[in-house]
Chain A
Amino acid sequence: MFCVGFGSSLTASAADSPFFLDGIFNYTFNGQSGHFYAINTSGAVVANLGSNIVNDNNLKTFYAVQNGGTLTINQFSFGITDGYVYPLIIPDLTDYKFIVLCFTGNITPSDFTFSPDTMYLLSNEYEGQNIAILENLTVKTFGTGLSGRPSTIGYVYYGDIPDTYNASLINGFRLHSAVDGTIPHDFKIAMYLYNNKNNDFDQNIDAIVDAINNQTLDLIDKIGSSTEDIQQSIEDQFSGDPGSSFPVEDIITQHNEKMGVLSFGSDTLMQVLNLLSPDQTLSSELVFPSMSLTIAGQRNRVQLWPEYRFDLNELKQHWPDFVGLMQSLTTALVWIFVLRYCYRVFEKYFLAGGGS
């Protein structure tokens, strides 16, 4: 099972932490549906995991389930289908400083490493390449493990939201990361917004770390129990036993398989076609790979030269007139070829009187 959750309910009181979390419960999630996506290194969606919502008093949990299989991913994304985050996130973010994401699962850390570097706030749902990034938040890390969780890989990251941010525009989150390994099963992800009211982050980092760790553990427990409850409910009600008439598990599996292929096929095609789109951001870097040699009989590898990257845009900075002239000439050349082709077609069918 692959499990992803989005939660926003925290249990610690203000007395034992530097956070004042009361306000976080007061949101209503408009639309109440969304999708989690697992995204590969080139931005293609390799699995649309869907989502479910669990309401348990003051705990709202979004999760998705995938039965079996493995995923090779680079990013996770959560997009809201027909709603918006606001007022999930308070319009005035002065006191709400962090979006925290926590990974946990029953896999050994050596099998899978996950190193986020940027957390994006999106103005729309993740739809393949069509993302609108509102803000890039540099991801900071505290703790690579959560105490008291044997065989659990637990990471907590956060991005610091600017105080004056217009949160009503936020419609999704996306976490970019370096990933090594695959996710086998039993994996959970949770995202929260933390209130930092009346506290200075830089001066209270240790206390904040402790508080978030503690609160994260509480939330993980809640997410785990909620998810298990739902799973148990599904198994009980639709297990094929007398009184059960609907093979939900099979349908979920088939749906995810289809969605995996569908997303992969569609996004691969879209990526190829989007290569011609003038709206995309293309890197004009030339990369010269590093070169290393392993000498027989010696343990060490000798690096002959490191990787070198050269951005062609540097030419534009040094010789803007030359580059501009070159681009104008190539553009003119393309237009001339196309117009010549058009004229030949026109001549063929209208001047010469037929195209047979």
Chain B
Amino acid sequence: MIIGLITKLLQFVTDTLFSVIDLPVVPAGLVSAVDLIIGYMRGGMGIFNFFCPLDRISGAVDLFIAVWTIEHTYRLVLWVLQKIPMLNVK
């Protein structure tokens, strides 16, 4: 679920970004190279999925991302607050 949300968020960002910046047509060579790389990654994930099914560990991945994000957000907020002398946060 979290991966899905992240995917949608990034897609929104890229859609917004690319709609503002006028870039040329993607060269065919780059498309082929990216296809090749993604093909390799997909093949690797297929093999990984056989040994460790993604549908069973998706909950663990979501949990990890959630905890990691909360922890680092907390640390970031704390770091910002520590820079404000009036608050006297240590």
Chain A residues near B (Cβ < 8 Å): 40-42, 44, 46, 69-72, 182, 254, 256-258, 260-262, 264-266, 268-278, 282-287, 312-313, 326-327, 330-331, 334-335, 338, 341-342, 345, 349, 355-356
B23 at the interface (CB under 8 A from A): yes
CA distance A345 to B58 in the complex (A): 20
Q: Are A266 and B28 in contact (CB under 8 A)?
A: no
- Residues on B close to A: CB < 8 A? 3-4, 6-7, 10-11, 14-15, 18-19, 22-26, 28, 31-32, 34-35, 38-39, 41-43, 45-47, 49-58, 60-61, 63-64, 67-68, 71, 74-75, 78, 90
**B42, A341: Cβ atoms closer than 8 Å:** no
CB-based contact B14/A265 at 8 Å = yes
Bound CA–CA A285/B55 (angstroms): 19
Dominant secondary structure of chain B at its interface with chain A: helix
Pick from A278, A312, A345 the residue with the most CB of B within 10 Å: A278
Residue of B nearest to A72 (CB): B28
Q: Give the distance in Å from the alpha carbon of A70 to the alpha carbon of B31 in the complex.
A: 12
How far is B42's CA from A287's CA once the two chains are assembled, in angstroms? 13
Q: Nearest-CB distance from B38 to chain A (Å)?
A: 5
The answer to whether A260 and B45 have CB atoms under 8 Å apart is: no
| Inter-chain contacts of B3 with A (CB < 8 A) | 273, 276-277
Nearest CB of A to B43, in Å:
7
Given contacts A42-B38, A273-B6, A313-B50, whether A257 and B60 have CB atoms under 8 Å apart is no
Question: In angstroms, how far is the closest chain B Cβ from the Cβ of A189?
Answer: 19
- Chain B contacts for A256, CB-based, 8 A: 25
Given A278-B54, A284-B47, A284-B50, A260-B71 contact (CB < 8 Å)? no
Tell me which residues across on chain A come within 8 A of B25, comparing CB atoms: 69, 256-257, 260-261
CA distance A47 to B23 in the complex (A): 14
**Complex-state Cα separation, A256 to B26, whole angstroms:** 11
Report the nearest B residue to A260, measured CB to CB.
Answer: B25
Q: Which residues of A contact B19 (CB under 8 A)?
A: 258, 262
Residue of A nearest to B7 (CB): A273
Considering only CB atoms, which chain B residue lies closest to A315 in the complex? B50
